[in-house]
Amino acid sequence: MPLKPEHISQAEHNEKIAETLSKTKFIDWAVTVTFYAALHYVDAVLAASVIHPDTHTERNEAIGGNATLLKVRAEYRTLETLSRNARYLSMKIEPRDLQEAQNCFATLRTHLRSRMGLN
């Protein structure tokens, strides 16, 4: 099970990929990778409490029981929904969807990095 530093490293890696993809025609993948960056920030917070969810359902339940994560639950759910729409429902992701994902991610990232003592 990855620990907090590994989750942070993966989140940062995914952020860079999402940024690159956002400048291409593959904005559906930019949204999806942005969601996975958020997921790893969430998992970093959970790992600090020795919680390692195996599924999205377990992760969502753990978010509900964590005061730090509850503050960005709406942003996380928006990212999850946009990603799911692109991945499973083949919904066309528009530039406004990408912007919404980026805004949600920025809020989530800032809050969680601050809570973890990261810049």
Query: What's the mean per-residue pLDDT of the chain?
Result: 97
Contact 9, 42 (CB under 8 A): no
The model's pLDDT over 20-75, given as tens digits with 9 standing for 90+, comes to 999 999 999 999 999 999 999 999 999 999 999 999 999 999 999 999 999 999 99
Q: Give the global pTM.
A: 0.96
> Comparing C-alpha atoms, which of 21, 54, 61, 60 is closest to residue 38?
60
92: pLDDT strictly greater than 90: yes
Give the model's pLDDT for residue 1: 87
Give the model's pLDDT for residue 43: 98
The CATH number corresponding to 4-115 among 1.20.960.40, 1.10.3720.10, 3.30.160.60, 1.20.120.330 equals 1.20.120.330
